[in-house]
Copies of this chain bind each other. A is one copy, B any other.
């Protein structure tokens, strides 16, 4: 495979061809390009060019292209298409992708588009999917699947499957249902390759089948599928009826999005933004956390001001270690919260909160003592005052312990309360640890120096 490479020359060439409406050349140029790559090209074009290309290319391909486009580009293109044109695109898509696109349309368009879809069965399935919360197994699943009844034999089964498989892009498992459409088991394609055609399904099917409830959260589905190495999982409703199927490619997207979200949270970016978003969008995502940092900084200022008289004359140097204390408190807090957030996300955190806190305290004490010795050596050799060196180093240990405990406790606490612990990482923990750290630092220094 020669991998596709998006170049400026290619974009320029395509823009040129669009400008001169050289449709045949465009078609042959893009014929062998994968839809995901066509989507990358279209993301770089302006709205008119993009719409032109979508209208020009075969809807078999453009429907898939639409699912891969950036959301704002897709929205712009769809606003230039008639409800009939949109319906034609949706007809080519699996129900889950079609429902996702319909979900983005303005309310008044939805009904028009659905009524234009020729295959009424397909339209009905899409409408069914629209009922589900986007953020649930129901919102992820597709209606396309291969299912057989337990009282069929393998021959009937294969016949029915051939018909059903026409609509299913990838067959993973064959699901077995009872009279009431309740999921009772599965058949693997491999089994089918090696079983005689006269056998009855009820004699060969595997009665054990993993499934998820239609209301399950996407991360939970992701955890189950990746833990059990599943490539598809059936979705059942409240009374166990088979209503859809989730495939691993959708779950890969969920895993990526979750990871991106946690990463952005940890970096103090509150919305889902990309480097190529507008300055205004980026500001909206970044400014709130910076304002939090500003408030924290003002808090630190007020604390330092409160200790001004204590240290102004003799131990002035104490003030100069505030950035160090704040940095250490912040770093330790981020480290310990990150490891908890990650443990929670990967579901590999066992044991009680108090055990975690004891462990973190031991860890922080160990790290704190090592760092305090280094700092003591520096301050002593630089300033030559044992009492000040001692005060600063002891405070550092205390600050590190408290920072570690806050970093451990806050995400665990939020998680217990059902709040996403990822918000407790990054600027949130840094800011609160800055303030606590600085306060503890001055209080201990004052105590030790006996002021």
Bound CA–CA A274/B344 (angstroms) = 11
Residues in B with CB closer than 8 Å to A374 are: 291, 294
Per-residue interface assignment for chain A, residues 1 to 17, with 1 indicating a CB less than 8 Å from any chain B CB and 0 otherwise:
10100100000000000
A residues 134-154 in Cβ contact with B at 8 Å: none
Q: Is the CB of A156 closer than 8 A to any CB of chain B?
A: no
Bound CA–CA A305/B321 (angstroms) = 10
Residues in B with CB closer than 8 Å to A161 are: 193
Sample of 23 A–B contacts (CB below 8 Å) = A1-B211, A6-B350, A36-B227, A36-B228, A170-B190, A226-B253, A226-B256, A231-B248, A255-B259, A263-B263, A264-B342, A268-B331, A269-B335, A269-B338, A276-B349, A279-B359, A282-B363, A287-B371, A291-B374, A294-B328, A294-B374, A300-B323, A322-B322
Chain A residues in the interface with B (C-beta under 8 A): 1, 3, 6, 32, 34, 36, 44, 158, 161-162, 165, 168, 170-171, 189-190, 193-194, 208-212, 224, 226-229, 231, 248-249, 251-253, 255-256, 259-260, 262-264, 266-269, 273-276, 279, 282-283, 286-287, 289-291, 293-294, 296-298, 300-301, 304-305, 308, 312, 316-317, 319-328, 330-332, 334-335, 337-340, 342-343, 346, 348-350, 356, 359, 362-363, 366-367, 370-371, 374-375, 378, 425-427, 430-431, 434, 438
Q: Please give 17 more A-B residue pairs, beta carbons under 8 A apart, in addition to A165-B190, A276-B350.
A: A6-B350, A252-B255, A255-B255, A263-B263, A274-B348, A275-B340, A275-B348, A290-B328, A293-B328, A294-B374, A297-B328, A300-B320, A300-B323, A301-B320, A301-B323, A304-B320, A327-B330
